[in-house]
């Protein structure tokens, strides 16, 4: 934290801003920003090291405002410096060469006020003077960089100024301003951040209220556009302008709030308007806006877990977008809408577990994104769209068991996003998207046993997402992304045997998702995050032998997934997760000695997952869950001596998993249950190379280790 004023003197000015004339715009901005800042009420009057905190940071001395009538500039400046509680230096290469800036710093230091000097970097690089090749970039004047000696002259001893940095890759303007204000007031930066977060939340609430008002106005205008004679054309134009605002700027402002009902109403009102238009008034532009509205409605339906309704909206959007793009193949906006329609139709298929359909749609999305680049190679938005397309294709290739092809797609996406972020360092949205690609590639490498590389990528994912979220703590989408990043890093730590740090990550994720769910109960993505955090905490507790607490978390996951499944039984993820939850409950009950209850849970899991496998034959994750369920059933039979012969049940697990194993999978997620299934049926020679491969990957699965010990198989590699 910055140093603060330490004396109790009364000063005429809260601060003196020192800057050269080339940085006048920054001086003007800073002067207004400081004098316009309202100190939080709960801080006013609080005693700090030098005096009670004032209501406002006024007045601030800035020479252009304060000196126009002065006849003796030197004496006025010295007097103002002496009557200023703090000195703020606007630092840039221009300031380095300013005699007056250096002299003002020296004077302030000579009065014994070195601890009251605050710096604001606006250009250049700090301490570049110590690197000959970068000397011209130095932004700290000499008087800042060296300690003052007893004789009042600068010594050769270096000092390190503490500075706020307005540059995009530094603190940014908003954070830099708060950092300076915290120093001037003598309070912790976190205290002011808390106030800003509260203020931002209030602004979001106001935006929401404005959105509702805009929708009412839009509805009235839409009616007038049809009813009113003579002014119909003008009013229709007004209505469509408002709808464009609702589907564009307003949506971007509302999405971070995370309130689905508002976005839902925006889309519905837009569709109502377009449905009311007579045929002669349906222009291509109106069709384009209707496609936008359909896409928005579909996205909200996905978040609500209403996949059939979402697919209907996306299909309608696709038909409109295809019609428009056929009329004007070189219209980038309409081609973009067609690409979005392909993506969203594919995404719904993804949620339903239909991977063949996903791959077909995502390849079309990739082809259209490449067409956009051909139309405008320098368009950064199209470049980003192409990077999305590569990443999305990588996800489906990964799910279908094509790791090499998937890795290629992820790496292409990462390279493109890294270039975009480097060119636009202030764009936080793009940084989050880059973090997402790091996450996908990390999970791929993790599955293949390359744990060190995977850990580096997952750490980068968490670090980037944390930094971006710090710039806007109220952004619910970034909160959700952070919870996901923490879970994935925790999964890797579990693989590395570090359950303590993994538990810390999972608990952080649970805290985030709990607040999100409380914020909007309709958002199924947030409910999934809430469920998955409980499941992961339960898994670590089970590994530690804390079975009662593990069971409580697993029951929580089962309750959540049953509620989600009731919304839409076609969503394969929820069916899989529900089966996993019942398997986990059964596993824990078996360890607790309640075999009867364990048997009931595993039968529930098998019933759920067999229906899913029957409907979606290429769902590898569902096949894995089914194999695990039959292995658990075999263990229960072996322990109780009831039901089918355990060997028969274990053999069924082998038959279920073998097709995946025969495809040469290198994914430890499948290799682990495959090795255990082989050991259960005493196919020791077949199991040994799989066990050794897992050992070389660093895999430390508790069940596999215990089974290897019981079967006399050494985990060597």
Q: Which residue is listed with tokens 């050769």?
A: 156
> What does the pLDDT read at residue 621?
85
Q: For the chain, how many residues are written?
A: 717
> What does the pLDDT read at residue 269?
54
Chain segment 377-397, per-residue pLDDT in tens: 988 889 999 999 999 999 888
Q: Percent of the chain at pLDDT above 90? A: 38
d(CA 31, CA 94): 19
> What does the pLDDT read at residue 260?
42
Q: If DSSP codes are grouped into helix, strand and coil, which group holds residue 619?
A: coil
> What does the pLDDT read at residue 521?
74
Find the range with the poorest average confidence among 21-25, 27-31, 573-577, 695-699. Answer: 695-699
Find the range with the poorest average confidence among 1-5, 136-140, 369-373, 531-535. Answer: 1-5
Residue 439's pLDDT band, with cuts at 50, 70 and 90, is very high
Residue 357 lies in a domain: no
Residue 6's pLDDT band, with cuts at 50, 70 and 90, is very low
Please compute the mean of the pLDDT values over residues 123-144 and round it to a whole number.
89
d(CA 188, CA 49): 12
Last-in-domain residue among 135, 152, 187: 187
Report angle CA 377, 381, 386 to the nearest 5 degrees. Answer: 70
Q: Percent of the chain at pLDDT above 70? A: 81
In whole numbers, what is the pLDDT of the chain averaged over residues? 82
Residue 683 lies in a domain: yes
Last-in-domain residue among 187, 218, 246: 187
Instruction: Between 448 and 211, name the one with better pLDDT.
Output: 448
Query: Taking 90 as the threshold, does the pLDDT of residue 229 lie above it?
Result: no
Cis-peptide, bond into residue 507, ω within 30° of zero: no
Chain segment 192-204, per-residue pLDDT in tens: 665 555 455 445 5
Query: Taking 80 as the threshold, does the pLDDT of residue 227 lie above it?
Result: no
Query: Taking 60 as the threshold, does the pLDDT of residue 435 lie above it?
Result: yes
Residue 399 lies in a domain: no
Query: Taking 50 as the threshold, does the pLDDT of residue 71 lie above it?
Result: no
Residue 619's pLDDT band, with cuts at 50, 70 and 90, is confident
**What stretch of H or E contains 154?**
strand 154-158
Residue 191's pLDDT band, with cuts at 50, 70 and 90, is low
Please say whether the beta carbons of 457 and 448 come within 8 A: no
> What does the pLDDT read at residue 271?
52
- Domains in the chain, number: 2
Residue 174's pLDDT band, with cuts at 50, 70 and 90, is confident
> What does the pLDDT read at residue 94?
93
Query: Taking 90 as the threshold, does the pLDDT of residue 650 lie above it?
Result: yes
Chain segment 536-556, per-residue pLDDT in tens: 999 999 999 999 999 999 999
Query: Taking 70 as the threshold, does the pLDDT of residue 529 lie above it?
Result: yes
> What does the pLDDT read at residue 108?
92
Residue 442 lies in a domain: no
Chain segment 302-350, per-residue pLDDT in tens: 776 778 888 888 888 888 889 988 988 888 888 988 999 999 999 888 8
Which residues constitute the domain of residue 636? 593-711
Last-in-domain residue among 143, 171, 187: 187
Which ranges of 520-619 does DSSP label H, i.e. alpha helix? 524-544, 547-567, 572-592, 595-615
CATH of the domain at 172: 3.40.50
CATH of the domain at 672: 1.25.40.10
Q: If DSSP codes are grouped into helix, strand and coil, which group holds residue 67?
A: coil
> What does the pLDDT read at residue 510?
94
Residue 262's pLDDT band, with cuts at 50, 70 and 90, is very low
Residue 688 lies in a domain: yes
Residue 115 lies in a domain: yes
Residue 30 lies in a domain: yes
Please compute the mean of the pLDDT values over residues 493-501 and round it to a whole number.
90
Q: Could you tell me the pTM of the whole model?
A: 0.58
Chain segment 623-640, per-residue pLDDT in tens: 899 999 999 999 999 988
Q: If DSSP codes are grouped into helix, strand and coil, which group holds residue 674?
A: helix
Report angle CA 465, 467, 469 to the nearest 5 degrees. Answer: 65
Residue 699's pLDDT band, with cuts at 50, 70 and 90, is confident
Residue 136 lies in a domain: yes
Residue 674's pLDDT band, with cuts at 50, 70 and 90, is very high
Helix/strand/coil (H, E, C) string of 451-488? HHHHHHHHHHHHHHHHHHHHHCCCCHHHHHHHHHHHHH
Q: What is the DSSP letter of 53?
A: P
> What does the pLDDT read at residue 131?
84
Query: Taking 90 as the threshold, does the pLDDT of residue 642 lie above it?
Result: no
Chain segment 146-161, per-residue pLDDT in tens: 999 988 899 999 988 8
């Amino acid at each position: 934290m910055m140093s603060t004023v330490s004396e109790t003197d009364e000063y005429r000015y809260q601060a003196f801003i020192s800057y050269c004339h080339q940085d006048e715009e920054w001086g003007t901005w800073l002067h207004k920003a400081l004098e316009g800042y309202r100190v939080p009420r709960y801080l006013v009057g609080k005693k700090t090291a030098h005096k009670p905190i004032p209501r406002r940071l006024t007045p601030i001395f800035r020479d252009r405002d304060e000196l126009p009538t002065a006849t003796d500039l030197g004496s006025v400046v010295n007097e103002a410096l002496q009557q200023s509680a703090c000195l703020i230096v606007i630092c840039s290469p221009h300031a380095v060469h300013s005699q007056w800036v250096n002299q003002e710093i020296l004077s302030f230091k000579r009065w014994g006020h070195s601890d009251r000097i605050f710096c604001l970097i606006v250009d250049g690089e700090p301490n570049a003077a110590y690197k000959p090749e970068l000397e011209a970039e130095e932004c700290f004047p000499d008087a800042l960089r060296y300690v003052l000696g007893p004789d009042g002259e600068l010594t050769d001893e270096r000092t390190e100024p503490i500075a706020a940095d307005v540059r995009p890759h530094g603190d940014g303007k908003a954070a830099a301003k708060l950092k300076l204000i915290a120093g001037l007031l003598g309070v912790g930066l976190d205290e002011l951040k808390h106030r800003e977060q509260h203020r931002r939340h209030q602004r979001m609430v106001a935006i929401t209220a404005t959105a509702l008002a805009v929708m009412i106005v839009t509805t009235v205008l839409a009616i007038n556009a049809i009813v009113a004679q003579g002014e119909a054309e003008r009013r229709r134009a007004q209505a469509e302008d408002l709808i464009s605002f609702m589907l564009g700027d307003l949506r971007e402002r509302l999405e971070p709030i995370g309130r689905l009902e508002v976005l839902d109403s925006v889309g519905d009102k837009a569709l109502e308007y377009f449905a009311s238009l007579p045929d002669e008034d349906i222009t291509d532009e109106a069709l384009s806006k209707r496609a936008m509205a359909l896409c928005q409605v579909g996205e909200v339906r996905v978040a609500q877990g209403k996949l059939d309704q979402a697919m209907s909206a996306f299909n309608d959007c696709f038909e409109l977008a295809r019609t428009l793009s056929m009329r004007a193949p070189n219209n980038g906006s309409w081609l973009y809408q067609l690409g979005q329609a392909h993506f969203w139709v594919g995404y719904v298929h993804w949620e339903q577990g239909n991977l063949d359909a996903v791959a077909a749609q995502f390849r079309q999305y990739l082809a259209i994104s490449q067409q956009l680049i051909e139309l405008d190679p320098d368009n950064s938005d199209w470049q980003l769209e192409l990077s999305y397309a590569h990443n999305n294709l990588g996800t489906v290739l990964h799910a279908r068991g094509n790791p090499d092809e998937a890795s290629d797609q992820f790496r292409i996406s990462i390279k493109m996003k890294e270039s975009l972020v480097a060119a636009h360092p202030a764009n936080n949205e793009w940084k989050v998207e880059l973090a997402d690609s790091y996450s996908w590639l990390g999970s791929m490498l993790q599955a293949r046993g390359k744990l060190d590389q995977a850990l580096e990528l997952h750490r980068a994912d968490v670090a980037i997402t944390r930094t971006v979220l710090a710039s806007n703590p109220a952004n619910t989408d970034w909160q959700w992304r952070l919870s996901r990043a923490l879970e994935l890093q925790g999964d890797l730590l579990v693989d590395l045997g570090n359950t303590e740090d993994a538990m810390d990550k999972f608990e952080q994720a649970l805290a985030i998702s709990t607040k999100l769910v409380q914020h909007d109960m309709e958002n199924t993505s947030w409910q999934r995050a809430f469920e998955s955090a409980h499941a992961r905490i339960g898994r670590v507790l089970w590994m530690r032998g804390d079975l009662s607490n593990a069971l409580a978390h697993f029951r929580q996951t089962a309750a959540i997934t049953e509620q989600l499944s009731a919304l839409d039984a076609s969503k394969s993820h929820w069916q899989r997760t529900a089966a996993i939850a019942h398997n986990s409950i059964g596993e824990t009950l078996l360890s607790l000695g309640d075999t009867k209850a364990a048997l009931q849970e595993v039968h529930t899991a098998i019933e759920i997952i067999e229906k899913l496998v029957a409907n979606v034959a290429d769902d590898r994750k569902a096949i894995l869950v089914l194999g695990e369920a039959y292995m658990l059933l075999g263990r229960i039979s072996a322990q109780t001596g009831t039901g089918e012969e355990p060997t028969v049940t274990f053999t069924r697990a082998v038959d279920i998993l073998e097709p995946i194993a025969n495809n040469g999978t290198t994914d430890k997620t499948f290799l682990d249950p495959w090795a255990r299934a082989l050991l259960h049926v005493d196919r020791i020679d077949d199991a040994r190379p799989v066990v050794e491969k897992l050992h070389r990957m660093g895999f430390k699965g508790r069940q596999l280790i215990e089974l290897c010990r019981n079967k006399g198989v050494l985990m060597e590699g």
